[in-house]
Chain A
Amino acid sequence: MSLTTNVLSVVAKLLCGSSVRWVDCQPETCQRVYFANHTSHLDAMILWSSLPRQLRTVTRPVAAKDYWEKGIVRKYMAESFNALLIDRKKIKVHRSPVELMIQAIGDKYSLIVFPEGSRNPDSEMREFKSGLYYLSKKRPDLELVPVYIDNVNRVLPRGEIIPVPLLSCITIGPPMWLENGESKATFLQRAREAVQRLKEV
């Protein structure tokens, strides 16, 4: 891990003053998909920084290509976080985002995904996109870990450039899996509820 990566993650932690809670879940290096609510550009950076060091090296945030490839700074940051950039505009069948993710993780990496698709300015979470379902259908061995990110939207709301150092909280919940024969809609609903439940913990 490079020096800038460490510096960036320390800065991210200081800026968001984030406290991390592991609720019924242990930090382990097994292959996982962390899925979280999405309210700010900082989400991926914060969640990634709040993982323990050993986990960070094997965890890749999935982020939007159109945002993170704009300008040298963002590109550089995306590289330092080992982000997996997905093109949201040109989704092709033979190179679908899910295919890319599965290719990218191999049998080593974990992922950070935001199934809401884009940042959500409201307090209520949006419906989840289906990517999480297809991902776990193709790789049922992956542990799906719900994460609730609180208050980061106030640190850097949508459309603002300068962050304000408020305190945020990250809650990481118990892993879940796709049940046998579970339908897409019920699974996505269950996953969404798993994230929502962490709000109350």
Chain B
Amino acid sequence: MFVEAQNYVHGAGTLMFLPPTLRNWGDLRVMILLGVIIAVLAILYLVGRFLGRQPEGTINPAIVRMFQQRVQAWWLMYSVLAAGFLLGRVPTVVLIGLIAFWALREFISMTPTRRGDHSALFWVFFVFTPAQFVLVGMGRAYYPVYSIMIPVFASLLIPARITLSGDAKRFLERYAKIHVGLMICVYSLSFAAAVLDVESEPEAVADARAPSAGEIPDETTATEPEGAQSDAVVPAVAVSVEARSPAGLLFYLVLIVQLADVFQYAWGRLLGKRVIAANINASRTWEGLVGGVATAAVCGVLFSWITPFSWWGSSIMSMILAVMGAAGGMTMSAIKRDRGVTDYGTLVQGHAGVLDRIDSLCFAAPVFYHLVPLITQLR
């Protein structure tokens, strides 16, 4: 059934004008996933409305409000992702770049900088942030550049630029704030965009289709060279992997991280007793963490069909993502606590608080990116 679906996509000649990595952009599986997500979000929205209409006293209104806000944020997030997906690879990178820019804005607005940092901030906002996403957008070939530009070049240039202003007060602290902002909001998140270029095919399959590399891999060239002597199953797999959309991994990343986040919260509320660190985040408990990671593993198995991973590889990846997401949440909570705010959004009234929603994604994205080739080998 899968093969048939893929054949259909191939037969339609979708996006054949694109370079090889992008040819399968409009993968049927991603479409299905998108449909499922929209359906689930619609249900969640209705549930939220239903809960909101309940008479007072039955449910804690704060939880209902939080639930509704979350669902709203998901709608926004998936609208952005879906828009990017429908428009293509470069628009997706641009959209993620804009989100990173906004998150950095929130981060720097919250952390006090001094007048002497102004020019360094100019470099951060108008040179390094756009450059990072332009390089990511230019493709995997530029990985050696975009993987070190911020950790090496920016980290050396920023303090040097601050010194020119001649203000030494709290120097190390200011340097750290700007650099951490850049690393978390821009560098880490840019790997969510870089996931679109990740080399994700298992080696065995990649070998199988090697003869056709560089040509247009349509049905015949992809299946003939080795498929001719073996039986029909192997090339069928090769086709289905070949047809995997790179957007699928991005959707998988966002979905698992968000689900893990939610389940950590839910398990924490249901069973939570031992708070991990009350001074940093009073709502994150060990029970929630374990429950969230375990549920993420189940979700990983459920959604492994969208990835190049085996079902257990996918569940391992999901657990790693859940742990990284929790790490991101805790870290950003600590930064917020230090600044005496509860949400990045409330710091400047009326803003939605983008950083509050993507903190876990920021921490999960670079790890995900670098583990995909490894996890793909597990089968």
Contact = CB atoms under 8 A, between A and B. Distances in A.
Contacts of A160: 115, 118-119
A164 B351 contact: no
Contacts of A151: 109, 348
A160 B113 CA distance: 15
A157 B125 CA distance: 16
B11 to A, nearest CB: 45
Given A17-B105, A151-B109, A157-B115, A169 B348 contact: yes
Contacts of B118: 154, 157, 160, 164
A137 interface: no
A168 B347 CA distance: 10
Interface string A138-178: 00000000000011001001101010111111010000000
Contacts of B115: 121, 157-158, 160
A158 B119 CA distance: 13
A169 B105 CA distance: 13
A19 B350 contact: yes
A162 B350 contact: no
Q: Chain A's interface: helix, strand, loop or mixed, by majority? A: loop
Contact of A168 (B108, B121, B348): B348
Interface residues of A, number: 19
Contact of B348 (A158, A164, A165, A167): A167
B125 A167 contact: no
Given A19-B348, A19-B351, A21-B349, A164 B125 contact: yes
The B contact surface, by secondary structure, is helix
Nearest to A156: B118
B349 A162 contact: no
B348 A20 contact: no
Nearest to A158: B115
B349 A19 contact: yes
A164 B105 CA distance: 9
A17 B122 contact: no
B125 A165 contact: yes
A165 B349 CA distance: 16
A164 B122 contact: yes
A17 B351 contact: yes
A151 B113 CA distance: 11
B105 A167 contact: yes
B197 interface: no
Interface residues of B, number: 16
A167 B122 contact: no
B348 A162 contact: no
B351 A166 contact: no
B27 interface: no
B242 interface: no
Contacts of B105: 17, 165-167
Contacts of B261: none
Contact of B113 (A17, A154, A169): A154
A38 to B, nearest CB: 16
Nearest to A168: B348
Contacts of B125: 164-165
Nearest to B115: A157
Nearest to B101: A165
B359 interface: no
Nearest to A166: B109
A21 B348 contact: no
Contact of A166 (B108, B119, B350): B108
A168 B348 CA distance: 7
Contacts of A19: 348-351
Closest 7 CB pairs between A and B?
A: A19-B350, A167-B109, A167-B348, A164-B121, A166-B109, A157-B115, A169-B348
Interface of B: 105-106, 108-109, 113, 115, 118-119, 121-122, 125, 347-351
29 contacts: A17-B105, A17-B109, A17-B348, A17-B351, A19-B350, A20-B350, A21-B350, A121-B115, A150-B348, A151-B109, A154-B109, A154-B113, A154-B118, A157-B115, A160-B119, A162-B122, A164-B121, A164-B125, A165-B125, A166-B105, A166-B108, A166-B109, A167-B105, A167-B109, A167-B347, A167-B351, A168-B348, A169-B348, A169-B349
